[in-house]
Amino acid sequence: MPDATLRARALFNRQLDCLRRDDRAAQAELYADDLVYDFPFAVDRPRHIEGKEAFLAVMRPMWEQVRGRAVNIVGYREEITETADPDFLVAEFTFDIEAGGRTVEVTYLQFFRTRGGRIAAVREYFSPVARSEALSE
């Protein structure tokens, strides 16, 4: 049962904590069943995904691929803009990603919406080139 008192900032922080710890099972529990996730600039996945199970079907193989490349997050910076709506925020964050003996910065911008203690919608912008470079693809 989700904790309906959790709002955007708390869920954003939990999602990032799961990502840093590589706890994808705990991360999956944060998403609403009717999750909508958009990746407008993606070239390696659908740009629009509806439903938690559809999102996980796309992302789990990608997460395993990253895990197999011994990718480590060695730095993190963020700028969070909270709004008058406690269920919505805008987050710009950068990971310093170490892989193959080098470190690459990858910056993300997310429009992040929650509902009933779950992540309901995310629109995530990132550079596919920077991500590929970080993963040595």
Helical (H) or strand (E) element with 118: strand 118-126
118 found inside a domain: yes
72 found inside a domain: yes
2 found inside a domain: no
3 found inside a domain: no
58 found inside a domain: yes
CATH of the domain at 48: 3.10.450.50
**Residue 5 pLDDT greater than 80, yes or no:** no
Tens-digit pLDDT profile for residues 16-70:
999 989 999 999 999 999 999 999 999 889 999 999 999 999 999 998 988 877 7
Residues 6+ apart with CB under 8 A from 131: 44, 106
Tens-digit pLDDT profile for residues 93-127:
999 988 888 898 989 999 999 999 999 999 999 98
Boundaries of domain holding 120: 8-134
What's the confidence (pLDDT) of residue 17?
95
Helical (H) or strand (E) element with 56: helix 52-68
Mapped onto helix, strand or coil, the DSSP state of residue 112 is strand
Query: Residue 8 — very low, low, confident or very high, per pLDDT cuts 50/70/90?
Result: very high
User: How many structural domains are present in the chain?
Assistant: 1
Cβ atoms of residues 123 and 110 within 8 Å: yes
Q: What are phi and psi of 5, to 5 degrees?
A: -80, -15
Cβ atoms of residues 38 and 48 within 8 Å: yes
Residues 6+ apart with CB under 8 A from 85: 8
What's the confidence (pLDDT) of residue 136?
63
